[in-house]
Homo-oligomer: A and B are copies of this chain.
Amino acid sequence: MIERLKDTTVILASASPRRTKLLAQAGIRHLVLPSTCEERVSSRKPEEVVTELSRQKAEDVYTRYRQEHSKENILVIGADTVVAVGGRILGKPKDRDDAFRMISMLQGNTHQVYTGVTLLEYRNAIEKEDTFFECSHVQVYPMDDSEIRCYIGGGEPMDKAGAYGIQGEFAVFIKKIEGDYHNIVGLPIARIYQELKKHI
């Protein structure tokens, strides 16, 4: 959909199948090349954590890919998503008990989902970097313990920040969102598209 991407190799620096699906939905053909760098954060603020990590992921993949394809026009997309309740970050659950603890904090409450994105571009010998984040508010219906256990039993929570997937069975517990839906899934594709348009 974006004209100038036609001669550019777009690379998603993430192994998340949800992010790949969203980029494809936006009509952006891309390679998947997950970052392998160690994650280091210097802040506890959700918006700073996700932007820092998105930058590290994008830079890791950018450097590695450029070593072998130094003349190619490339655009690397790095992203990181966290869930925050009352400013406190929830990552991916360690085990089922941890998932139960997280979902107990989310039910009957409003939380935030932050995704940081870094666009790192090499084009006709010029480098450009753009980092931003989106925040969406999510209101969850009250859930009783058996509903939480049943949801966890389905296996959905374990690889997801905040222990839930809005695009799966958890959808029946989401009362309302305010912000970008796809940001909650893991990639704010509307914002990415609009940022890429600006760069033309």
Instruction: List chain A positions with a Cβ less than 8 A from chain B.
Output: 1, 22, 25-27, 141, 150, 166-169, 171-182, 189-190, 192-194
Contacts and interface: CB of A to CB of B under 8 A. Distances in A.
B168 A176 contact: no
Contacts of A167: 25
Given A141-B190, A150-B1, A171 B176 contact: no
B1 A168 contact: no
A177 to B, nearest CB: 6
Given A1-B150, A181-B181, A190 B175 contact: yes
Given A171-B190, A172-B194, A176-B179, 12 more contacts: A1-B169, A1-B172, A25-B169, A26-B169, A26-B171, A26-B172, A141-B194, A172-B189, A172-B190, A173-B193, A177-B179, A178-B178
Contacts of A171: 22, 25-26, 182, 189-190
A18 to B, nearest CB: 13
